[in-house]
């Protein structure tokens, strides 16, 4: 499970703000800039942003591409996406509790179809 950390040090934008922007529909670096104000002045942050954008479920290592494909193939609920891709079905290794932190993003991907 990814811990929160600052990604863009110049404008003080953290990981969770970027994930929140994704849950609100941001899918590209341009949209992340719009939502969060990351500066994108350094290449390091850019590649990190690309990595964050391309991942849906950190627990199960499921990519955006995989989830979008499942949704386009008819998975129209968070549960169905989980059955097909594993996304959203992660368990916290320490506590043994269901994680589910990516479920909001999965729902947004279903809503937008992308």
The backbone torsions φ and ψ at residue 56, rounded to the nearest 5 degrees and listed phi first, read: -100, -55
Which tokens hold the place of 12?
């003080």
Quick one: 45 or 53, whose CB is closer to ligand FES? 45
Beta-carbon contacts of residue 84 (< 8 Å; ≥ 6 apart): 70, 73, 75
Instruction: Say how far apart CA 97 and CA 88 lie, in whole Å.
Output: 12
Residue 110 interacts with ligand FES (CB under 6 A): yes or no: no
Residue 100 interacts with ligand FES (CB under 6 A): yes or no: yes
Residue 57 interacts with ligand FES (CB under 6 A): yes or no: yes
Stretch that binds ligand FES, among 15-23, 28-36, 64-72, 86-94 (CB under 6 A): 86-94
Which tokens hold the place of 99?
């994680």
Instruction: Check: CB of residue 84 under 8 Å from CB of residue 75.
Output: yes
Residue 88 interacts with ligand FES (CB under 6 A): yes or no: yes
Residue 108 interacts with ligand FES (CB under 6 A): yes or no: no
Residue 112 interacts with ligand FES (CB under 6 A): yes or no: no
The binding site for ligand FES (CB under 6 A) comprises: 8-11, 38-42, 45, 57-60, 87-88, 90, 99-102
């Amino acid at each position: 499970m990814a811990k929160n950390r600052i990604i863009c040090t110049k404008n003080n934008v953290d990981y969770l703000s970027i994930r929140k922007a994704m849950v609100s529909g941001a899918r590209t670096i341009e949209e992340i800039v719009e939502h969060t104000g990351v500066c994108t002045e350094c290449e390091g942050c850019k590649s990190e942003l690309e990595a964050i954008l391309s991942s849906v479920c950190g627990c199960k290592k499921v990519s955006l591409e995989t989830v979008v494909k499942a949704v386009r193939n008819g998975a129209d609920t968070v549960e169905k996406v989980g059955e097909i891709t594993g996304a959203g079905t992660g368990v916290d290794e320490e506590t043994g509790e269901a994680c589910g932190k990516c479920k909001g993003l999965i729902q947004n991907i279903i809503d937008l179809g992308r």
